[in-house]
Amino acid sequence: MVKLFLRTDLAPHVATEVAALPFVLRHGSRDVPSLRAVSRTLEALFGAALGIDVLKLGEHHVLTFSLEVLGDRFLPAGAEVLRRGLELATGLLLDPARDERGHLRAEPVAQEKEKMRRLIEGLINDKGAYAIERCIQELCAGEPFSVFEYGALADLEGLDGAALEARRARLVAEAPIDVYLAGAFDPDQAEALIRALLPVERGELPPLRGTTPHPPAREVREVHEAVAGLNQGKLVLGYRTASRLGEPGYWPLLLMNGVLGGFAHSKLFTNVREKAGLCYDASSSLERFKGLLFVYAGIDPKDFARTRDLCQAQVEAIAQGEVSDDELGHTRLAFREAYRALLDSPQRLVNLDFMFGLGGLGFSPDDAVAALDAVTREQVQAAAAGLRLDTVYFLAPQGAPPEEPSE
């Protein structure tokens, strides 16, 4: 497994260019000049796999290129699959196929613009993902984190090969590049190979902006939106937290989120879904870089107020210290199993190390387990007390009856 990460600041208007770029680049390099030629080259490398993605990590916009190949030590002498695979991947980034003007070619750009248009417009078809994205837009309005990682429809119109080539050249010149290798290889040979195939001569890089601080507290906002074709309501509560990855309170916050809604034994699932029967599903998730926590529930629209209040009550219960030994023990065990399962997945292990590195941590999965085991009940309580509800977003079916008032 080889993975390259390129980081830049998440920003409106620019985000659409950044997001489209890797999808256009996969259409070929000077030496392998088409998407079909790329596929044939991968097949010739004993079925190698090349992947691309775009991530939003806090207010960093991250492009990833991943390559999976068989280890050379398991192949006939002279196969050099790692070298040939890396030549393909780095060629796409450093020497992409261009037209006679030096721009990325118009046909791949047009194809990927249409795919991105369908992706952005199609977000509404996944009502749960749409509700969380809309909550983020309302919660973080005016902040870079409100920008969708795939950009905006309005910015697709002016996207062309010239703009994308300029963006590619700027990223290669200025973006921090992290390269990971995991598997059966000689480290010294692999490092020499990477340095030879990524001959990027750069001086001091301009600093990234980083993640902006939380704005001052405000009154809790409620946003209701109705859409057609929805069978159940989607409730999202957006909280600002007191800690982010790499800060002292992060591990208590992570364990607290597990107690609240990270697993099937958590308070939201047990009390809101199972005991009260108010929702079809209930969970919580943590955005570790921006410092946000989201509570999510799929509900009958008439149960909006009761579900909202009962979800908030679970946070308040933890803040009051109502966390049992079983809840803590089961949550620690669930995290322990999740982290150790990463050892079976080189790609997920690489992703974890990269994210820990962004937070300034040199952590292994075992280090993460140890950090969580050291968290006390009082620290979990304090993490919940540090949550600040900012935005309640509710996506309801059009024509749904009004929700029942809370008691």
- Please report which confidence band the pLDDT of residue 407 belongs to, taking 50, 70 and 90 as the band edges: very low
What letter does residue 274 receive in the DSSP assignment? Answer: I
Q: What's the rounded mean pLDDT across residues 243-267? A: 96
Q: Where are the alpha helices (DSSP H) in 95-231?
A: 106-121, 127-139, 153-156, 161-174, 187-197
CA distance 72 to 190: 11
**Which residue segments constitute the domains of the chain, with CATH numbers given?**
2-197 (3.30.830.10), 221-397 (3.30.830.10)
Q: What's the rounded mean pLDDT across residues 240-263? A: 96
Predicted local distance difference test score (pLDDT) of residue 403: 56
∠ Cα 334 359 371 (to 5°): 35
- Please report which confidence band the pLDDT of residue 402 belongs to, taking 50, 70 and 90 as the band edges: low
CA distance 377 to 327: 10
Predicted local distance difference test score (pLDDT) of residue 210: 80
CB atoms within 10 A of CB 364: 16
Q: Is the pLDDT of residue 243 over 80?
A: yes
Q: Tell me what percent of the residues of the chain surpass a pLDDT of 90.
A: 86
Beta bridge partners of residue 326, listed in sequence order: none
Q: Is the pLDDT of residue 316 over 60?
A: yes
Q: Is the pLDDT of residue 211 over 90?
A: no
Predicted local distance difference test score (pLDDT) of residue 64: 96
Q: Is 55 exposed, middle or buried (0-12, 13-18, 19+ CB in 10 A)?
A: middle
Q: Is the pLDDT of residue 400 over 80?
A: no
Predicted local distance difference test score (pLDDT) of residue 405: 46
Q: What's the rounded mean pLDDT across residues 329-345? A: 94
Instruction: Identify residue 134 by its one-letter amino acid code.
Output: R
Q: Tell me what percent of the residues of the chain surpass a pLDDT of 70.
A: 98
- Please report which confidence band the pLDDT of residue 385 belongs to, taking 50, 70 and 90 as the band edges: very high
| Residue 369 CA: distances (Å) to CA of 331, 335, 336, 366, 375 | 11, 7, 6, 5, 10
Q: What's the rounded mean pLDDT across residues 235-251? A: 96
- Please report which confidence band the pLDDT of residue 399 belongs to, taking 50, 70 and 90 as the band edges: confident
CA distance 145 to 291: 11
Beginning with the edge strand found earlier in the chain, give each strand of the sheet holding 60-68 in spatial order: 49-57, 60-68, 2-9, 177-181
CA distance 354 to 64: 11
Predicted local distance difference test score (pLDDT) of residue 320: 97
| Residue 253 CA: distances (Å) to CA of 19, 213, 235, 247, 372 | 31, 17, 22, 10, 10
Q: What's the rounded mean pLDDT across residues 298-317? A: 96
Q: Is 172 left (phi over 0), alpha (psi -120 to 50) or beta?
A: alpha
Q: Which two tokens stand for residue 72?
A: 């050379």
Q: What's the rounded mean pLDDT across residues 216-244? A: 94
Which residues fall within 8 angstroms of residue 383, CB to CB, at 6 or more apart? 241, 242, 243, 249, 252, 253, 255, 256
Q: Is the pLDDT of residue 202 over 90?
A: no
219 backbone dihedrals φ, ψ, rounded to 5°? -65, 145
Predicted local distance difference test score (pLDDT) of residue 406: 46
Tens digits of residue pLDDT in 351-360: 999 999 999 9
Q: What's the rounded mean pLDDT across residues 51-67? A: 96
Q: Is the pLDDT of residue 317 over 70?
A: yes
Q: Which two tokens stand for residue 95?
A: 């020497």
Beta bridge partners of residue 239, listed in sequence order: 293, 389
- Please report which confidence band the pLDDT of residue 56 belongs to, taking 50, 70 and 90 as the band edges: very high
Q: What's the rounded mean pLDDT across residues 27-46? A: 97
- Please report which confidence band the pLDDT of residue 343 belongs to, taking 50, 70 and 90 as the band edges: confident
Predicted local distance difference test score (pLDDT) of residue 5: 97
Q: Is the pLDDT of residue 94 over 50?
A: yes
Predicted local distance difference test score (pLDDT) of residue 401: 57
Bridge pairing between strands 60-68 and 2-9: antiparallel
